[in-house]
Structure 1
Amino acid sequence: MLSPSISRLILICCVLLTPAGFAFANAPVVVVSIEALSAEVETLETQLDDPQTLNRLIAIDDGLTVDQRPGIPAIRGRILNLLGGTGEESALEYVRRVFENQSEFRDEAAMALSLHSYRKPTNLQDWRFLIRSLTVTRGEQTVSVMKALLRYRQRATNSHWIKRVLLQTEQLNEQQRPVAIELLGHWTGLNESDPETAMKADLAFYQNWYAQKWPEEQPATWPEEPETQRWKYAPLLKTLDQTIYSADLLEQGKAVYEKASCAKCHVKGDIGQNFGPDLSGIGALRQRSELLEGILYPSLEIHEDYPTVTVLSKDGKTISGLLSAGEPGSVKIVDPKGKATLIAQSEIEEIQTSSVSNMPAGGLEQLTEQEIIALFAFLQHQENSKKPFHGESQDQ
């Protein structure tokens, strides 16, 4: 039931967008105006002591998961923050489900969880969620998440997450950076072992520390985008975020997936070869921003299960590529063009790991903007017949 405060309802036959941006047409939908939604949420914000308020906020947010109108993300973010701020377990469980199941709202859900965790840093599941969110949060979201992580005694000590904090620190302004520096001091142990040095430490200090501790890794800095690079991260992400993905784009994206050579190493649904990570469910696992980051900067972070190596054979030959399981007694090396070579283990002198991804950079340079949009429509589509997408019936 809609609350009495919502009086303006519009019954239309329209295109209903899913969280991944796809659409199915001719679905009768009750669409409530942005103004009415905002007004109701504002009213509910003054009634948080009423148990029914949480249920209503959850119902509103859940009903907006298929609504991609401009203004909806801000309303959903506000609702999630209200839910996280209450500290009520039912509200927190809902926010956690949003984090897990709605990749494009993972940053908003993390912000909400950080509000609770800052006051009560006891739930290790929330701690893990907050760490995972460091790949998607921006600006004040990042600051709030880091403040909450500082409240936990636990530390994330592996290179992946230390690097992610360093990358996030680069993107924060001067007023926001101190909390990131403090978190680095906490996670590295410097705050306790050498508080005097920790007081003086800055971003450059921790970048140097990282390079010394993990010399085999790529530097913990964002790659530079040369002037000659056709497609750059920020403007391209803005274009993708403003795009309404459709069934036609999905079909076009399948062809682009092969044109861009993605299919030579990655399976997506029934397309491609399984040398690298399977991308069939990538739309549920990764935000659009993460996908774009991985394509434009493939060596920024290399998947630990798919290492790039150089094999030195006993006869002096070398071959580099993605290390994959071969036939018994051999290893398979897949080069950047998708060509696989089997090498007998008895012929191998040494295997050296590489910090450079087997996935070639510049994969989007040959594509038009429309082709890139279509490619992302395909990448973000989830191969799950139980969920309605691009023209499928909701009853399937």
Structure 2
Amino acid sequence: MTMITSIEPQSHASPSDQAAIICKKVRKVSLASRESFTSRCGAIHLPCPSQQRKTQSLRERPFNLDNGIHRELGGGPPHPDTVLYLAYGSNLCARTFQGDRGIRPLSQVNVVVPELVMTFDLAGLPYVEPCFANTRYRHTYPPVSTSEKSHLLPERTPRYHKDRWKKGLVGVVYEVTKEDYAHIIATEGGGASYQDVLVHCHELPANADIVPEFPTSQPFKAHTLYSPVLPPGEPPEKGGRFSRPDPAYAQASVRYLTLITDGADEHALPGEYRDYLHQLRPYTMTTQKQRLGGWIFSVIWLPLISAVFGLNGTFGDEDGKAPAWLVAVTGALFRGMWTSYDGFFFKLFGDGERTIDEDHAGDEGAVRSGPSLKYAGVDEKGEGRYEEV
């Protein structure tokens, strides 16, 4: 077992320098142990997609998931025999992608996607899985000027570690069979909440440590599943999901973040990006009231949520797509669950989306409504607004 030793920062270094020293030393240990770690997780080292296949991708078009993915995948010349699929969340991890979902990729390559950035704005289950990864289009791509800043909350609002990545999305493009891509979509809800989009990907050099913000290499296209965040109160319809008033508020669970960081380590994504991922703070219950509330919440809602997903497996078609009545039931169940959380559980038991009572109250440990600021909804750009109290 690899041990981490001698990572104590030098006493004369500044706090930022100390953090950089520790990150570099931990990264070296991670690289040295990656081979054994990958073996335990079952990851397979694969070749890169061929140049011919990447050139073909430039002529492709997005799939219309409403038509049924099997029909779309058999759509003729616009779609080659394989699919280039961009993964960025838990599907980076072999035990999820190849293990739980049984996908067998034919090739893979690490990429940066300048037009997208990863977010954690898909609502999950309070106290259990508060949110999941998603993407949004960057406001700075294509860039107007090199000094233009990305989309940020107002200066006086609490800062979020998960919003600190200002470059493009970093991920892995897998080449998969059409059958496997249909299975991926089926396991993601059969396209009920997602759109298939094509994005420009730039291959990252092997052993790259820094992610280029505006890469100049020849791009190729890959498909990915995109779920736009809906305005508060708007029911989920085609290609959208139920969303919270402030989509950027929630923290992901330890379990979910571990899948992403493990996957990033397996694929040896650039060290700069892995440092960012490993610094993300997970949601943690810090009070007995939260733990009690989380247990009661799970007892009430988890069986219902599990039953609904079980019905999807029973009544879903060959594409995994649920009938309209079941989609409506699922939407109503999620709205009811979050209404009960906002109206009762949060007030009585505490925050089920963000860690509270941490030392750094102005960072990711900030409570939902601090002594000087309170959340006041979102503006026309979808930004969280805070008002002084």
What TM-score results when the alignment is normalised by the length of structure 2?
0.27
**Which of 1 and 2 has higher RCO (CA within 8 Å, sep 6+)?**
2
What TM-score results when the alignment is normalised by the length of structure 1?
0.27
- Higher-Rg structure is 1
